[in-house]
Structure 1
């Protein structure tokens, strides 16, 4: 009977134990936030938000021709809502770094961003991200077309359409 109780207890406790996050060192978390600030991650996050909003604006303009003023108002509201969430996203990102690196390791990485080349990297990173996204999109589209073309017989064999008629 004790064995049955023990097995039942382990059966119910095991998933909870497996899912329990490992504790984060508060000092590492604080250093991770310094790292994210010095590395320009907040600026890159803002750049992502700007890209999302630009895409949303274009979509709204296609769906609502002639309503530019109203769309701009809504985009402004969306931007304000995104801005409220960025600090929580930075905190979550810091927790990820703190889960992988110690306070001292993060301090070493952060020191790089205090160097001349580190400061240059932060300055150049938004443009580098924009350029690499363009490269990735171009290659992604090219590869997708080639893969779909190459695998067309497989789609046909399985009676699958690759797009709406």
Structure 2
């Protein structure tokens, strides 16, 4: 009897990590599909393109005398470099989803994304995110400008 209990205990111990590993693997697979549903290479490129003017301006300020041709070339290179991170971004984003949602929740999210409303959310999300970014930038600028005196007072 004792040997039977020990055998069952060892079988249970051996089984639990495999189930957890399988669950984590399944979560990652579904999470990757969810990320791919919501982020295409074109959408990634568009998001990066919105940051390029800020990077260009930063280069222009930090590299006095840079010509427009040099800045254009640098921006093309920066876009190439940033686009090379697309696959890594997908994998790491999938890891974020997999670490925050259970397998059941991921399956439910994946099912939702397949509905007409889910498809609309996926279609509208980039525009909403872009507009929200502009709103955030505007509100942040207004808040900083309204309180610039308070910030400057720290340095006097």
Structure 1 length-normalised TM: 0.67
The alpha carbon displacement at 1:25 in A equals 0.6
Task: Kindly report which structure 2 residues correspond to 1:1-165, keeping only aligned pairs within 5 A, or say none.
Answer: 25-40=24-39, 45-61=44-60, 63=63, 67-149=67-149, 151=150, 156=153, 160-161=154-155
Alignment match, 2:7: none
**CA–CA distance in structure 1, aligned partners of residues 41 and 110 of structure 2:** 15
Query: Which stretches in structure 1 are left out of the alignment for 5+ residues?
Result: 1-21
The alpha carbon displacement at 1:81 in A equals 1.1
Q: From the two aligned structures, give the one with the greater helix fraction.
A: 2
State the Cα deviation string for residues 110-147 of structure 1 (Å, max 9, x = none). 12221112212222222211211111111112222334
Structure 2 length-normalised TM: 0.70
Query: Which stretches in structure 2 are left out of the alignment for 5+ residues?
Result: 1-19
Q: CA RMSD in A?
A: 2.8
**CA–CA distance in structure 2, aligned partners of residues 49 and 133 of structure 1:** 13
